[in-house]
Structure formats: C-alpha cells, structure tokens
Structure 1
Amino acid sequence: MKLTAKKRVEKLLDDIEFIKEIHGHIQAKGKVDGKLTYVLARDSYMPIYDLVGDFVSSVEFMESIEKEPGVFVLMYDLMSDRKDPKKSVFPPHPTHFLLDKKGVGRWYNIMARYSKSLPLIALVFDKQGASSTFPIAMSDVVIMHENAGMSIGREDVVKRILGKDESYDELGSAKMHAKVSGSVDFVCKTEEEMLDTAYRFIGYLSDKSNYSYSKSCDIKRFIPDNPMYVLDMDGLIGEIVDDNSFFEIKKDYAKEIITGFARFKGKSVGIIANRSAHKAGLLFVESCKKAKGFVELCDKYGLPFVFLADSCGFMVGSEVEQKGIIKAGAELFESIANSKVEKLSVAVRRDYTAGVYAMGGGHVADARFVALPSAVITIYSEGVGSMLADDDEKKRRFDEMMKAAKSPEKLAKEGYIDAVVDYKDLRDEIVEFLINR
C-alpha cells in the first residue's frame, strides 16, 4: 500500500514537534528513538502549484537545520505530474533550477556539507532521475523500495543519445544498485519495511541501557581447522553480539566483506569482517570501496569498529589491476589510518599479506591487534608459498616463516600483536575494548 508523505513521516517519528505541508512537500521535525530528526518528504499525491516557490522553501528548510543539527531524512517520491513516461524530458523553469542561488546547485551544496557532519538517510519510494539521483548518493544510507530505482537518464533518453535499448532493470533498478553499483544499501518489499529499517539505523547512533545475551560465545565451532574450508563468519558474529543486534549494511554488494552495526552490552559498534564463503574472502576493488565507506561512516558517527579477519589478502591479476585495485586498497588504508575512533583488529584465522592492513592490523592504524589461537598471520599461505619456494633455500626460509606465523603466542611474546585471546573470551575482549576506550 502506498502511503502519503505525511503518513510516512508520522510512522517514522516518535515525537513530532511540527509537520508543515507546503504544496507537494512535507517538512517535519521530531525524534526517532530519542534522536532529533528532520524530515523532508515529497508527496506524489499532491499536485505542485508553485514548483519554484516550493523548491526555495525546501532549500530554506534544509539550511535551517544547521541551527540545531540532527538526523536528516529525505523521502523521495515521484511528483504526480512526472509519472507519465511520455512526459517531456525538459523540466519546467530549467534555467532557474540550474543557475539560481537557491536552485539545484544549492541543494547539492547543502547535501555535500551535511554529508561530512550530519547523519543523512534517503528513502526512495519511486523511480528517480537526473537531478534527484546525486543527493541520494550523497546520503549515508539509501533505503529503496524494490519497485523504485534511479538513473541519470531514462530508457528513452539512453536510446536517443546512445542508440541502445536498455531495460530499466539494468539501467537503474533497486536490485541493480544494491548488487552491482553499490549505491543502495537496503532494498525493501514494503513501505513499512523501509520505515522500520530507517528507524533501526538511527537507533544505532546511541547506546542502549537494556540488552540481552543468551549465547555461550562458543565460536570455535565456526572455525574449521583446515584453512581451505569455509569459515562461518555470519554465525561467529551472531554468536558474540547482543541477541539479534547485528544489522548488516550493503549485504547484497561485495559479499566477500561484511559491514554492519552491532551491540555489545548495549554499546553500538561497527563490524567489518571477511566472508570466506564468497570469493574466499579475498579483497577486490568493490570490497575495498565498501569497507572504506563503512570505516568513514563509523568515524563520522563516532562509533568504534571491530575487524574480524579471515582473508588471504588482495586479489591479483590483470582484471583487478585494470579496475584499480592498488588505488582502492590505498584509499582503504588511508581511511583506516585517518579515522579518529577506537579500533580493534582480531585475526580470526587467515590474516595474510597486505590484507592484514586492510583489516586494521599491523600498525596501519592506532588499533589494538589481537589474535585467536587459530590465527595464522603471514605473507603467504602455505599453498601459495609452496608454489613460490622453488629451491631448497627458499623452502627452508618459508618453513621457518610459517612456523612462526602459526604461533600467535610467539608473535605476542615478540610484541608483534597485543594478545592472544581464547575463543570463549572474544566477546569479553570486545566488551572491555568498548568500555575502556
């Protein structure tokens, strides 16, 4: 069921200070789970009487948020007069919106500035194009209805300019952006699910006094002895966090790396982990970008984050080199090193090559670096190392390296890592890290 913009706002906000209806837009201020929240919503049910005046009013509302900063939620819907697919691609008053001091450029300016300071959430209820797409992408999180989407050019525009027939599924659908471009974080089946997702996301901006934990931290069962077997990282995370508290973000994009919020004794934290069940947990350009964005998100919100490492490192070959794997990895290192929040890196099993740095270890950042007894921290895996050690001297040196790598206790004794943590104590280690930060 499609709700009006006002009904959407009322469902999201707990306490409403005001709701203003200005032609085709709703402006509102209230609280979500105790956090001050502003909402600007477009209503597809309401006709636009004064498009210029309405846009100026929306820009002024956005500017006013600086006086008392809070969470900013934008709800995007398609205006009623733009739903006809045969509607002209030329918007009304094009010069005004392109060049006016309170036109689209000013809207972009505000969103760009707020992207560095305020939590920005975009809820997309219908297909968006052209000028609407960029502010959506500037948001911290994009929650999109499965029937919505976004693209700079419509199918007919692409056809006329490029002479190509492209379906909307491949051009701008919610599914495509969630899986391929990475521009959408959540795809929801209903509007109620979208609003619930936004509410839950905002909730992680604050710690909670109440929590439950009914598990035993029995994580050894998720870690196979054979490094060639898949480690169940999803199960491990679920075992150590507060009950039902893990909130995965971008779960359909670059699945080889996991990003999401969680709670430990009610305290909010970001988690970045390798998923060996997908592409062996290797790091690709997409996974580096996903991790980098999440590191910067946690840093912006002041949330500490925990790395759970199980990766052979970076993928090699011409395909990833041409895509820019070196630059993507370097930018990830920069984000980790420059982040100001507290960080904990846990070598769960495989922690190889520069993947150590991608997962916050090896002093790439001012992070506590610990290992489980199962951890192997080294340059090459046994399989790769045996292929590269092509004479007796190389084999001898490689065997010595692997002997040391397989002993986290020795690495701790020599000061390379801070501690070896028993499997049953990992949750306590993370809780202590959060309490003492």
Structure 2
Amino acid sequence: MVTRTAPVPSRPGPADARGRVAELHEIRAQAVAGPSEKATEAQHAKGKLTARERIELLLDPESFREVEQLRRHRATGFGLETKKPYTDGVITGWGAVEGRTVFVYAHDFRIFGGALGEAHATKIHKIMDMAIAAGAPLVSLNDGAGARIQEGVSALAGYGGIFQRNTKASGVIPQISVMLGPCAGGAAYSPALTDFVFMVRDTSQMFITGPDVVKAVTGEEITQNGLGGADVHAETSGVCHFAYDDEETCIAEVRYLLSLLPQNNRTAPPPVPCADPADRRCEALTRLVPADGHQPYDMCTVIEEIVDDGEYLEVHERWARNIICALARLDGQVVGIVANQPQALAGVLDIEASEKAARFVQWCDSFNVPLVTLVDVPGFLPGVGQEHGGIIRHGAKLLYAYCNATVPRVSLILRKAYGGAYIVMDSQSIGADLTYAWPTNEIAVMGAEGAANVIFRRRIAEADDPEAVRQKVVKEYKSELMHPYYAAERGLVDDVIDPAETRGVLVGALAMLRAKHADLPSRKHGNPPQ
C-alpha cells in the first residue's frame, strides 16, 4: 500500500514578503496620487482643491484613517472595464477635529468627475453606517457630477441608500454637507436632508434641473451660478446655511462649527473654560436698545454684548434676516439663540422667518443645546401674499418646534411682544422654563394705537376732536394693560430685570436648568405642520 502525501505549498521567503510589502506601498501611492498630475492641475486651475487636500484642511494633522482605499468598481461596458481606478472616486474614513472623532467622505472630481457608481455608493453607505454606530458627526465634502450614467439604475439605487441613511442619522449625529463643486439632480437631496450646508461662491452649485433643461422647458436663460450658486441659496432659497469666498475659509468654519456641536444626541456640546465673567454687567444694553418701540436697532449688537467674548456663529445669516438664529457660548456652555431682528421688517415673523427658526429650534432640541429667545416682535407680517402663501401653517411650524422642545428654554422680552407672535416666540404659556423681561417690555394683544382704535372706535368717531381723544385712549390703554409689570403681576413673566444684569441672569438660569429632564408622551413621532 502506497501512502500518498499532499504536496506542501511553498511559503514565500523574506524576499517575497518584502516584495509584497513594496507592492502594497506602490498601490497605496497610486491611490493617494490620483489618476494623473494633469487631472490634479485641472482641478487646481478651477480654483478647487483635491479631495485629499480638503480632508487635510478639515481634520487634525495625521489623524485621518482611510477605509476601502483600494476599492474598485466591477462594472463593464461603455469603456469602464479599462478604467478601474483605486478609491472609485470617493475617499472615506475618519479622523479628528480638535481631538474628537469625525467621519468624512469626499468626492474626487478627478475620477469620473466624482460621479456616483455602485462601488462608490457602497463606500459612502459603509462610512455613514460607521458614523451612526460610533455616534460621531459626519461631514461630506461634495464635488460630483451626479449619478454615473454608465452604471444605470445601480447608481440611482446608491443614492437611495444615502438618503435612507441621512434620514436614519437625522437627530442622532450631526450631519454637515460642504458643497465644493457641482451637485445636480437627485444628488442635491442628500445635502437637503443634513443639518447644515456650506457652499463656496463661484465653484459650487446645487440644482435639480440645470440651465439647459430650464431653457428647454421654460425658455428661461440663466447661468449655473444664477440658478443654484452659493449666493442664491444663501439669500433666496434658504438651502445654504453658510457661504464663503474660498475653500480654505469654508473648511475652517466647518471646523469651528464642529467645535460647538455634540458628538451625538446622547451627549452635550463640549464646554470650554471661560475668562469672560459670568456675572459681567452689560451697561451698554440700555444704550443699544431704544426705549421707543418704533426705533429700530441691530439685535446682533445685543447678542455680542451678552455672549462670551462677543463671539457667535449665525446660521442662515443672509436668509430671512428678520430673525436671527445663532450658536454661542454663555459661561463656556453652548446655547442656541433665536432673536427677532428689528433692523429687518421691524422684526416681524413671516413665512421664511418662521421656517428658519423652527428648524433651528428643532435641531437644538435634537442635540441637547439649550435655547435662549430674545423677543422684540410686533406680530406676524400682514398681507395677501403671506396669507395665500400659508403663513398659518408656516407659523405653526415654529410654534410646534418650541412646544415640542424639552431642552432648557429661557426667554427674554426686550421691548414689543404682540399678539400671536408673542405666544410663538417661546412664551411661558407654551413651555418656556423661565421668562424674563426688561422694564421696556410691552406685552399685549396688539400695539396700543391699534387696540385703542378697535376698543374705542365709536368714542373716537363721535368726538369733536378725534385725534385728541385717540391720544388720550392710547395713553389709557398703555397705562392699564401695557405697563412693564402687567404680565409679571399675572405670573406670565418670572421677573423684570435690569438690562445690565442680563448676562448674569441668563447664565444663572441655564446653570440651574442644566440637569433638566422632561419626557414627551409615548408616540412613534408627531405630525408637524407642513
């Protein structure tokens, strides 16, 4: 009987191992370098950085860890079988911003124009799943030409997977979209689902249908920037929260925003040591805010006077300017500020202001950011356009957002607080934890002139001197129902405070509320106004 012994496979010797390691380094170098020097030069010629240069600016030095660097597509046909670059046009991984973990993916426009194919999408899906599982922010650096046409419906399905994960991550981890190139068609819906959108002027655009399609369908001629550039979305559509002139500034501001955000919905924003005294008096406030409710002023100067070192980050600064939404710190703790802006439309609430503030309040509540509301509102904007545009349901969005919020909520009434707008701006009746007012406050159903004209209409009309009577009844109405202590006497304001003490009062109130716990009724989710 002959015993047969299976041959023993030869193991690579030291030379073979060294050779394979050298080969690995060579492949990685190819992946890092990209398709060609010519492609890199073309990217720079457009005033744009490469994907890896952007990641280097975003993350702390030497912190980036790439995932699936050697991934390639498996598609065939239309010439794809001869073009299989490493990374497949998207760089994915994680790193750190100021020492805290952040996940990132960046389209590489040098490869297939950053177009999304099956492998490309799978890489993005994986890094999004990792970010959700790890409970860390996700930043997308967008510079892509949309779906990869050669891969057909597989590319479209890839976008569906991204949208589904954007929605799953909503309110769980912060999501930031940085638009650094074109973003057209269905691809634009992913940024719209995220928390914050950054854009760069001249080089980034977002639209569902491009200028050529618009011209073919409607006959309108318009440029890409005119249709969906940074300024259009920052000022007109409200799609963009922040717009900057260059990529370096844009990415630096993304880092600053991340420093104000919590890692996820289970943690609080990171506190920092504060050298600005918590009880610092703000004597300038009495000069900055005129007692006469008809005189405008810049609410931004009030915010600067109150917050730590006068620093804050305004969200949607150029859209719906009649309301301010900002992130700042009080005694080192991050807060969200919602404030009427008397310099724009007298600070009234309209459709756009209501939508802007509602989403900001909702975001703050999702991520454990306390809310400070500075109120100086004469009401909702009247007009046929507003009523037909749905001011009722849009205004209800802000009301719903405040009523639904369980984070600490402190409101301060500086001057006017009239009608339904007073209620909507986080009044005590809809759940504000603490409500303060300055001695210049006027809380009423409407302004004294309007109220007097309604209540004393007949008396004024029958008088020999209607104007004298009107002035008299206006004075009576103010003294009876609009004096600074009327609301405080009825428990609708917790205290009337000296404006100079505002910072100390807000810091103390928020410190007391830091351990606040409030539960909503058990439900799958609410049905907010649309």
The reply on whether 1:39 has 2:86 as its aligned counterpart is no
The letter of the residue matching 1:211 is C
- Taking structure 2 as the reference length, the TM-score comes to 0.76
1:256-335 aligned at under 5 Å gives the runs 256-335=322-401
Correspondence for 2:65? 18
The separation in 2 between residues aligned to 1:178 and 1:53, in whole angstroms, is 33
Q: Equivalent residues in 2 for 1:223-262 (5 A)? A: 223-262=289-328
In the alignment, the residues of structure 1 paired with residue 116 and residue 418 of structure 2 have an alpha-carbon distance, to the nearest angstrom, of 60
Q: How does 1:37-436 map to 2 (within 5 A)?
A: 37-47=102-112, 51-79=117-145, 91-98=149-156, 100=157, 103-147=158-202, 148-205=204-261, 206-213=269-276, 216-218=281-283, 219-388=285-454, 389-392=456-459, 401-436=477-512
CA shift for structure 1 position 66: 2.7
Q: What is the CA–CA distance in structure 2 between the aligned matches of 1:383 and 1:49, rounded to whole Å?
A: 61
Alpha-carbon distance in 2 for matches of 1:200, 1:208: 14
Which residue of structure 2 lines up, in the alignment, with residue 85 of structure 1? none
> Measured at CA, do residues 351 and 424 of structure 1 come closer, stay the same or move farther in structure 2, by a change above 3 Å?
same
User: Which amino acid in 2 is paired with 1:213?
Assistant: D
Instruction: Read off the aligned partner of 1:92 and give its amino acid letter.
Output: Q
Contact 1:216–1:239 (Cα < 8 Å) also in 2: no
Which residue is 2:12 aligned to?
A: none
* Larger radius of gyration between Structure 1 and Structure 2: 2
Secondary structure of 2:186's counterpart equals helix
Q: 1:53 to 1:309 in 2, by over 3 A?
A: same
Distance 2:244 2:64 in 1: 28
Moved more, 379-388 or 294-303: 379-388
Structure 1 residue 8 corresponds to structure 2 residue 71: no
Q: Which amino acid aligns with 2:219?
A: G
Residue-by-residue CA offset, 1:293-334 (whole Å, 9 max, x unaligned): 110111111100111011101011211001110111112101
SS of 1:403's partner is helix
Q: Choose between structure 1 and 2: higher strand proportion.
A: 1
Alignment CA distance shift 1:53-1:207 (3 Å): closer
Deviation for aligned residue 1:158 = 1.5
2: CA distance between counterparts of 1:408 and 1:386? 18
For residues 375 and 436 of structure 1, what CA distance do their matches in structure 2 show?
25
Q: CA deviation at 1:154?
A: 0.8
**Amino acid in the other structure paired with 1:419:** D
CA contact (8 A) 1:372 1:423 kept: yes
Quick one: distance in 2 between partners of 1:379 and 1:49?
56
CA contact (8 A) 2:93 2:127 kept: no
- Residue type at the aligned position of 2:322: E
C-alpha distance after superposition, 1:365-410 (max 9, x if no partner): 2431110111111111123224434123997986554224443334
Q: How many residues align?
A: 426
**What TM-score comes out, normalization by structure 1 length?**
0.92
Gaps of 5+ in 2: 1-46, 70-86, 262-268, 462-469, 514-530
Counterpart contact for 1:267–1:434, Cα < 8 Å: no
